[in-house]
Amino acid sequence: MPEATAGLIVRLLSTATCDCTMLRWRFTPVSQTHGACYTHGVVPASDRNPGGAALKDILERLWRLFPRPRGVEERNILLLYAEVVFAGVLAAAASFNATYILRSGGSATLVGLLSSIPALVAVFLFLPAAQLLERQASYRPLVVWSLLSARIGYLALALLPLITSSGVPEITVAVLVAMAVPSVIFSTGWNPMLADVIPERQRATVFSWRSILSSGTVAALTYLIGLALERGSFPTNYQWLYGIGLVGGLVSTWLVSRVRVRETPPAEVPLLHTRVSLRQGVTDSLQESPRFARLIVNTLVFNLGAWMVGPLYVIYYVQELGATDGWIGLHTTLIHLGIMLGYWAWRRINHRIGDHPALLMALPFAAAYPIMVGVLPYLPALLLVGFLGHLFIPGVDLNHSLIFMRRLPPLHRHTGIAFYSMVMNLGAFVCPIIGVVLAGAIGIRNALILGGVLRAAGVALFYLRPVDEGGVTSASIREAFGAILPARRRYPHV
């Protein structure tokens, strides 16, 4: 690049500013780049190789053009943004787990067990995992190693067809169930780790962008994966799928390991490391935060219908409506596009009216989704339903997560999360089995509608037993629309 052009680009970059809500980076002015730190990657002529810049030098210069985080907090947030993209690669591969089991000759009951058994395993392990984490001086290494252990199982799925051709569906479910054991430890420690890493004032933005990045990755990949699976030969196509997903998961795990958590001095946390009984720990956590106890009950009832119909969707699409892998991929893509747009909208609504009113607004629409799927048994229409229905799921997930983290008992965070997760997983174990049995008795479509009705009962609880301050009013509805609709331009009267 000629010297004059390089200098012009440097001056343009030096005035550039990226002042997004979270990514408040600034380029260092040109006047501050003199010396050994070449912030913009333009090396003085005296330092250049006389024979021309090597590829390594070019890459280093390009790398230095990128803005740098100004502290540990922004570095952690950048790592969380990056890791969720690679985790999305694994999530895209995992979204075909149930389809793989069915294609391998597995039954609908086996798909139901895939949803139920990991939840049962989690029921018995969450509280011991919480006690283990609360006794650690630093819980981050245990979180990272448990995440790695949970993801390495996809290597076994990729190699399984090379080892045996019989019992593949059953072995696949067994491997996925075994992966649930380290997943329990990771899940118990992940939310406290996020709470320690992300300040409360920034959580809505960070959670929204992580979900948008994850959904964008999954949306793009699942559509392409569906097309690739249709053109490949079974089971080799799924072996490649799981192999690529594993690589993404390992990169994500490495990035998580780079996140730095503020270490709490032992003198500040004597109660957290005290060995107490499981029952006493749960009692203390619920008494410490009564609104948290109410949140557990409301969420359990609301989720019962979702768990009941969870395994029915793929069975309904593939076995009753004849959906192909390509349709499954396109449907998943549209779902995640809806989630991306939903997180964009609900983050703005959250900032305008608060998380509790926003949660109450989103709940009825989320409850209606299985009902809409049940009353429209047409694959083209279900593509639209998948997109529209998932515009409201982020309104529940985002605002529920923010309230959940705020209502955690401060002195028993791991125990509170473990008890919450144990209760939810108990429901997640029982309900899919009930759903499959119920579908066999009254039909999948009727079971889907019944699941939606059950979710509506959970919505009523959130309205009757609020978990935070603020409700839905005509003013808040107008504010919500104002947050997502373009501002009306006012012209002066002539």
Residue whose entry in the numeric block shows the structure tokens 């019992």: 167
Mean pLDDT, all residues of the chain? 77
Q: Is 368 a residue whose pLDDT tops 90?
A: yes
Ranked by mean pLDDT, which of 94-98, 228-232, 449-453 comes out on top? 449-453
CA-wise closest residue to 475 among 392, 349, 354, 353? 353
Ranked by mean pLDDT, which of 3-7, 12-16, 455-459 comes out on top? 455-459
What is the rounded distance in angstroms from the CA atom of residue 355 to the CA atom of residue 347?
A: 9
Exposed, middle or buried: residue 311 (CB in 10 Å: 0-12, 13-18, 19+)? buried
Ranked by mean pLDDT, which of 26-40, 82-96, 271-285 comes out on top? 82-96
Confidence bin at 97 (pLDDT 50/70/90): confident
Confidence bin at 27 (pLDDT 50/70/90): very low
Q: How many CB atoms lie within 10 A of CB 279?
A: 9
CA-wise closest residue to 362 among 375, 384, 347, 372? 347
CA angle at 198 for the pair 197 and 203, rounded to the nearest 5°:
155
pLDDT score of 136: 67
pLDDT score of 303: 92
CA angle at 385 for the pair 363 and 222, rounded to the nearest 5°:
105
Q: Is 392 a residue whose pLDDT tops 60?
A: yes
The mean-pLDDT minimum among 30-44, 196-210, 222-236, 467-481 falls in 30-44
H/E stretch holding 17: strand 17-19
* % of the chain surpassing 90 pLDDT: 18
pLDDT score of 487: 58
pLDDT 10s digits, 413-428: 777 777 888 888 788 8
H/E stretch holding 438: helix 413-442
pLDDT 10s digits, 473-491: 888 888 888 888 765 554 4
H/E stretch holding 339: helix 325-353
What is the rounded distance in angstroms from the CA atom of residue 96 to the CA atom of residue 240?
A: 13
Q: Is 271 a residue whose pLDDT tops 50?
A: no
Q: Is 440 a residue whose pLDDT tops 90?
A: no
Over residues 351-355, mean pLDDT: 87
Comma-separated ranges of CATH 1.20.1250.20 domains in the chain: 72-263+273-483
pLDDT score of 366: 92
Q: Is 17 a residue whose pLDDT tops 50?
A: no
Q: Is 411 a residue whose pLDDT tops 80?
A: no
Ranked by mean pLDDT, which of 135-139, 245-249, 267-271 comes out on top? 245-249
Task: Bin 466: left if φ > 0, else alpha if -120 < ψ < 50, else beta.
Answer: beta
Contact (CB, 8 A) for 298 and 461: yes
Residue with the larger pLDDT of the pair 398 and 26: 398
pLDDT score of 359: 92
Q: Is 364 a residue whose pLDDT tops 90?
A: yes
pLDDT score of 51: 47
Ranked by mean pLDDT, which of 87-91, 234-238, 272-276, 311-315 comes out on top? 87-91
pLDDT score of 67: 57
Residue spans of alpha helices (H) in 354-412: 355-375, 379-389, 393-407
- To the question of pTM greater than 0.75 for the whole model, the response is no
Over residues 341-367, mean pLDDT: 90
Q: Which numeric CATH code is attached to 72-263+273-483? A: 1.20.1250.20
Residue with the larger pLDDT of the pair 42 and 65: 65
* % of the chain surpassing 70 pLDDT: 77
pLDDT score of 4: 47
pLDDT 10s digits, 45-96: 444 444 445 666 765 665 565 556 567 778 888 889 999 999 989 988 888 8
pLDDT 10s digits, 143-201: 889 899 889 989 988 898 888 878 888 888 888 888 888 888 888 888 778 877 888 77
pLDDT score of 40: 35
Q: Rounded to the nearest 10 degrees, what angle do helices 203-231 and 236-257 cross at?
A: 160
Q: Is 26 a residue whose pLDDT tops 50?
A: no
Q: Is 454 a residue whose pLDDT tops 80?
A: yes
pLDDT score of 333: 83
Instruction: Give the C-alpha distances (Å, rounded to integers) separating 257 from 76, 99, 261.
Output: 10, 32, 10
pLDDT score of 167: 82
Please give the span between the terminal C-alpha atoms of the chain, in angstroms, as a whole number.
54
pLDDT score of 460: 93
